[in-house]
Chain A
Amino acid sequence: MNFQEIASIRNRFNVKSSSCETVVALIGNPNTGKSSLFNALTGMRQHTGNWPGKTVLQTQGRFYFDNKRYILVDLPGTYSLFAGSLDEKIARDFLFFACPDVTVVVTDATCLERNLSLALQVLELTSRVVVCVNLIDEALKKAIFIDVKALSQELGVPVVATAAREGRGINKLKKVIRDVAEGKAVSRPKVIEYDSEIEAVVARVEEKIRNMISGGVINTRGLALWLVWGDKGILKGIQNYFNIEGKTLA
């Protein structure tokens, strides 16, 4: 996959990016202060529309950092990428097919555990991830302490603590987003080991997918895992966005 192909897929999500712009996806559970973070990052430079063909609100914004342009796409709040609701499907499709250059997972510091499962799911799809531990001020008030360094080591991707409503940590977050986009940041995403039966099936499906899709942008293991889970929508997406012929699939 070259840039043109990716850009045209992104275009179908109403995200118009040129080659000098970095596309950043913002994903998180509902009520994690995702919108505050979005506002803090983009300020007034945002515009809203709909996700193509859906009646779900899409918000995009731009910000500049270090003389580079970033397009921030706010994905609908979701608890999981194993899609059930329309919101979850949109978030899943965007991460799978529009291949954002950086994905920021917003988590709520006051209930991190619940939020981490989404972060782990995102890590199954892409390694260019920043985990943002938001609402850190509220966590402190409730005497909850998050060891950001340890979390970063556990997940294998950069972790930034923020208090978006107060504007704290935003600059640091922008810096880390840039580092990840430029490939400067550490990225050894945690690989979850499933039981041997799952691993075997996933490996078999992944093999099939590898034969179909050339190019390293798509995470074949992630696709395989979602197929094994039984996500039917993802097959439609593969045909729709990658134009894969059914023969190879069979």
Chain B
Amino acid sequence: MKTGENAIRTNKHIPLETERLDDRIIETIYKNAEQIAEKVVRKGTKKNDWDRKLDDILTSRWLAFPVMLLLLGIILWVTITGANYPSQVLAKFLFWGEEQLTALLLQAGSPEWLHGFLVLGVYRCLAWVISVMLPPIVIFFLFFTLLEDTGYLPRVAFNMDDFFRRAGCHGKQALTMCMGFGCNVAGVMSCRIIDSPREKLIAVLTNNFVPCNGRFPMLIVMAAVIAEEVSPEAYRSLAAAAIVGGIILTGVIAALTVSRILSRTVLKGIPSFFVLELPPYRKPLVGQVIVRSIFDKVLFALGRATVVAAPAGAAAWILANTAIGGTSILSHAAAFLDPLGRLMGVDGIILMAFILGLPANETVLPFMMMGYLSTGAMIEVEGLQALRNLLVEQNGWTWITALCVMLFSLLHYPCGTTLITIYKETRSFKWTFLAVLIPLGIACFTCLLIAQAAALLELV
């Protein structure tokens, strides 16, 4: 201890004698840098100030936001239209595989339950996740990585800075939210770039309002269901893109609102100052980006699908096929949750899917389908259209149901892995608990509001 005291004393007397010396040291270094740069840097006559011109548009007062929204819209539209075809091809191929597998198992004389468990449970769930979820993820992230490579993402943070400052949090939160699109775990981890503990905590707590990789495909599927109900055929993919865009904006608004409330109440403080350097625009290395995003995303998503969807399919099949008193556990649970679900514009199966999907958001949709399939008739599954039939024709969904599912998915608690990461980053059960409670409360309230308003106005 003695060392510490002495050291601090020594340190204290130095600044007393040297007031203002610190500034002069820095100034001298900068002056030297300037002199050297003058000697060794030569600027040609061909002045290429593309960057500045681009920045004048992309970060300008009036055009910044329209351009951002337009880019988001274009990316979503291309994702939605582009994902359709590979999705169908994958579905055809994988369900052809299912037939082969069934034939093989029957030939080997396997019992009914084994076939059900392996094929109808594990394999079908896996096939669904891969065919419906993989294509949009890959396409979306291809564009996202391209944008990142061009240097546009820091401009997004720059544009959003004002909003975040007014919400009492750090401008870099925009960057952590961008990371959240990839995965909320990565988003929460990236909050480390924020130095102030108060602002870091706000960023951690609000990161899950950005729809991650695992929830994104479900949002697209739901948007397609809504678009089918409310829009004429020619504009369906545009309408779906607009709906997903609207949901993402809702998430951003929710994040800002919660940040603002937190920074006015439990996490009081003024936003800290920071320097955001805008890197020069770079021509993206398209080939490299394609290879990287396909390898990274496809392999990552496939890996996760296997790790996460296969056990989920198995669990769902067991739940749906183990009966207590003549009804399956799944139906019991769904029936129990149904009244609560109805209040919020959804149903028992949907709520149960969200609860069972806590470990990973990718499994919410498969759980939902398993729930419906186990009680309803088995259907031929061929991509999106079949899914729509299952939900709308057989289970009485309306566009309000789909909207409530989207909002609940957007706003509800972060997945298990993210929660573990939040605990690791905050080292506090209290904040981890709040990271569940705050979004869950908002999600329930929003869905309740919409469902009740829809009922009151007799929209459906």
Query: Could you tell me the distance between the alpha carbons of A238 and B122 in the complex, rounded to whole angstroms?
Result: 59
Tell me, yes or no, whether A201 is within 8 Å of chain B by CB.
yes
- Distance in Å from the Cβ of A230 to the closest Cβ of chain B? 5
Give A165 to B30 CA distance when docked, in angstroms: 29
Shortest distance in angstroms between A96's beta carbon and chain B's nearest beta carbon? Answer: 15
Q: Name the residue on B nearest A152 (C-beta).
A: B40
Question: What's the Cα separation between A101 and B5 when bound, in Å?
Answer: 33
Contacting pair A151 B40 (CB below 8 A)? yes
User: What is the interface size of chain A, counting residues whose CB is below 8 A from a CB of the partner?
Assistant: 59
Q: Is the interface of B mostly helix, strand, loop or mixed?
A: helix
Residues of B1-52 whose CB lies within 8 A of A: 2-11, 14-15, 17-18, 21-22, 24-26, 28-30, 32-34, 36-37, 39-48
Stretch at the interface among A16-24, A135-143, A177-185: A135-143
Interface string of A209-250 (1 = CB under 8 A from B): 000000000000000010111101001101100001111011
14 contacts between A and B (CB under 8 A): A56-B192, A79-B275, A113-B37, A138-B282, A144-B41, A144-B44, A145-B41, A150-B40, A192-B32, A197-B21, A201-B14, A246-B4, A246-B5, A249-B3
Closest A residue to B12 using CB positions: A232
Task: Using CB atoms, name the residue of chain A closest to B25.
Answer: A229
Contact across chains for B10 and A249 when beta carbons are under 8 A apart: yes
Chain B interface: which size bin?
35 or more
Which A118-158 residues have a C-beta within 8 angstroms of B?
A: 119-121, 138, 141-148, 150-151, 154-155
Q: Tell me whether B99 is interfacial, beta carbon within 8 Å.
A: no
Name the residue of chain A whose CB is nearest to the CB of B281.
A138
Instruction: Name the one of B14, B28, B282 contacting A228, with C-beta atoms under 8 angstroms.
Output: B14
Q: Is the CB of A30 within 8 A of B277?
A: yes
Assess whether A198 is in contact with B25, with CB atoms less than 8 Å apart.
Answer: yes
**Interchain nearest-CB distance for A197 vs B (Å):** 7
Residues of chain A lying within 8 A (CB to CB) of residue B34:
113
Instruction: Contact check, A230 vs B22: say whether CB atoms are below 8 A apart.
Output: yes
Instruction: Contact check, A116 vs B192: say whether CB atoms are below 8 A apart.
Output: no
A82 at the interface (CB under 8 A from B): yes
- With A31-B277, A155-B36, A239-B7 already in contact, the answer to whether A146 and B41 are too (CB < 8 A) is yes
* Interchain CA distance A213-B425 in the complex, whole Å: 38
Chain B residues near A119 (CB, 8 Å)? Answer: 33
What is the CA–CA distance of A194 and B22 in the complex, to the nearest angstrom? 11
Contacting pair B10 A143 (CB below 8 A): no
B8–A192 contact, CB under 8 A? no
Q: Which 9 A-B pairs have the closest CB atoms?
A: A143-B44, A246-B6, A113-B37, A246-B3, A116-B33, A31-B279, A117-B33, A151-B40, A145-B42
